[in-house]
Structure 1
Amino acid sequence: MIANALGPIFLLILFGALLRRVNFPGTEFWPGIERLTYYIAFPALLVHRLALADFSNADFGRFALVICSALLLISVLTWIIKPWVSSNAADFTSLFQGAIRFNTYIGLAVASALFGDDGLVIAAIAVSIMIPLVNVLSVICFSLAIDGPLKSPAQVLSGMLTNPLIDACLLGVALNLSGLGLAGAWIETLLATLGSTALPLGLLAVGVALSLDTVRQDWSIILSSSVLKFIVFPGLMLALAIWWQLDLLSRQVLLLLACLPTATSAYILSRQLGGNAPMMANIISAQTLLAFVVMPLWLSIV
């Protein structure tokens, strides 16, 4: 089941690499696609998903505590080890995103396939918590690492509030909690249709930026981010879930979300905010492949 979920993702990345190899439809085509994905398709997907999410689960408070604690701990740890793993600011942003971001599409698909409707509901609730916090932490990382630590809190806040992914999360949650929802089938269908383009376009853009030479050069960052993503972060999530006595299904779903490969949106964010986008593309590709092995191993533990 996991192979069936991850296989098409990796094939789309390889297809993007093939398009780059044959130079179709041309190098000038892809920057516009990246902007369309970043400013339109991904925000539409987030608004649609969060506006329709079910926040009535009784364990929402404990979910939020476990998820937020795990994300904050892995973020702090990544900053602590920065001097030993990366001296370059742009490279560090790729390492950071590789450690905390997750592929929502794979997560929801695998949760549904492995755990049925109950698992899918839990995953949707958890994702609605993780997406805003991950985007906030990522934007803060870019603000501090790329622009320097002297940026004022007001400037950091401004950078977060003008980020389309964060704005989309805030709008989606506001529509959900206000009871307005998406106010009509036309709007819901429009957002669902726009959002459905985010995955293929984002993956193709990743493949276009893929460079085998860069993969060989960046092996240390890829290894460091993968250790954080596939060993440290899932371990933190599982330990906190056990500590707060979440039920078995909740532990399984949260562990699944913690050991997902990095999201394709990390590449788009890296391109837009001045990170090392080719390195980010290689981290995404490597982690997508590694996830074939890591996810079944972690899930077998619980």
Structure 2
Amino acid sequence: MAVMVEALVPIFGLIMLGYLFRRWQFPGEGFWPLAERFTYYALFPAMLIYKLGSAELAPSAYLEIAVLILAMLAAMTALLVIVRLIWSWSGPVYSSVFQGAARFNSYVALAAAGLLLGDAGLSLMAIAVAVMVPLLNLLCIVMFALTADQGPIRFKPVLKAIVTNPLIIGSVVGVVWSFFRIGFHPILAGMLEPLSNLALPLGLMTVGAGLQLRALRGASMPFVVAAVAKLVAFPLLTLGLALLLGVSGLMLQVAILLAALPTASSSYILARQLGGDAPLMAAIISGQTLLATVTVPLLLGLLW
């Protein structure tokens, strides 16, 4: 447990450092949106290509993790349907709870996997992210269409955003690179490696810079339900499914870590664009990120 805490503290420390820098307007108010864009479109794809391209994973690993992720999403969706039946929240409120309970922060996922599980864990997490991101986006869009009452939702722009997602592109390129054992020329490796090293710390600080702690003043029952579902129920469901499917070892650790992490910062953008409760979504994102500093070490210590 002590070793795990020591590995996770820097992650959440960098998140809070980003929050403080943004609050102090350092190095400037316009810096952090640009830093997030640079990280998303350049640094993380470079890291995924380099790390995945250098990995040597068994072909069966791809199918195994895909099956587990499909089972995780199906089980969590079923749980959230039950939540809908218990609490008759409006469409916008429920959509924020759904996103808060089902989605995860890719930056934190990759950083935590790299620090806790090494390059092998990072490679598996990258594959999990590449599988889960498009599925979650489609699932959330369908949920909005069914509950938000905002008229017909256009799927074409959403599908385009998924296909052009830099994290998915980087993961696919990395997997292909690894599968065909292409390798990296020293010059190319000399460029990708420093970019890869820069991705995680800057990515985590941009997560912190995006926190809206003032939104927590309006925390309510939907906030509590989303937090408990994401930070407690999802990892427990994942453990049960993994044991049922016979998944163990490093892949089990990656799946539980993925399920235990706070929801994605991009959930706020989707809530604004598709008629969700954006203030509630901001509270869920910020609150889960803070709560995860306690729940993640505890759960990983118990379930790993």
- The TM-score normalised by the length of structure 2 is 0.77
Q: Structure 1 residue 291 and structure 2 residue 303: aligned? A: no
SS of 1:197's partner is helix
Which residue number corresponds to residue 10 of structure 1?
12
SS of 1:23's partner is coil
Distance 1:187 1:98 in 2: 39
Question: How many angstroms does 1:10 deviate by?
Answer: 1.8
Aligned counterpart for 2:26 among listed residues 13, 24, 27: 24
Question: How many angstroms does 1:39 deviate by?
Answer: 1.1
Aligned counterpart for 1:55 among listed residues 50, 54, 57: 57
Which residue number corresponds to residue 105 of structure 1?
111
Percent identity over paired residues: 25
User: Residue 96 of structure 1 aligns to which amino acid in structure 2?
Assistant: Q
What aligned pairs does 1:264-279 form with structure 2 within 5 A after superposition? 266-267=264-265, 270=268, 274=272, 276=278, 278-279=282-283
Question: How many angstroms does 1:88 deviate by?
Answer: 6.2
Q: Is the 8 A contact 1:98 1:229 kept in 2?
A: yes
Q: Is the 8 A contact 2:239 2:256 kept in 1?
A: no
Which residue number corresponds to residue 115 of structure 1?
none
Question: How many angstroms does 1:298 deviate by?
Answer: 2.4
Distance 1:85 1:38 in 2: 37
Task: Report the CA distance shift for 1:255/1:32 in structure 2 as closer, same or farther (over 3 A).
Answer: closer
Q: Deviation digits for residues 185-242 of structure 1, max 9, x if unmatched?
A: 2223322322322222222223233343212323545433332233322222222222
Question: How many angstroms does 1:76 deviate by?
Answer: 5.2
Which residue number corresponds to residue 253 of structure 1?
253
Question: How many angstroms does 1:4 deviate by?
Answer: 0.4
Query: What are structure 1's unaligned runs of at least 5 residues?
Result: 113-119
RMSD between aligned residues = 3.4
Task: Report the CA distance shift for 1:96/1:78 in structure 2 as closer, same or farther (over 3 A).
Answer: farther
Distance 2:171 2:180 in 1: 14
Q: Is the 8 A contact 1:16 1:205 kept in 2?
A: yes
Task: Report the CA distance shift for 1:167/1:85 in structure 2 as closer, same or farther (over 3 A).
Answer: farther
- The TM-score normalised by the length of structure 1 is 0.77
Which residue number corresponds to residue 216 of structure 2?
215
Question: How many angstroms does 1:86 deviate by?
Answer: 6.3
What is the aligned length?
Answer: 287
Query: What are structure 2's unaligned runs of at least 5 residues?
Result: none
Once structures 1 and 2 are overlaid, which stretch shifts more, 147-156 or 208-217?
147-156
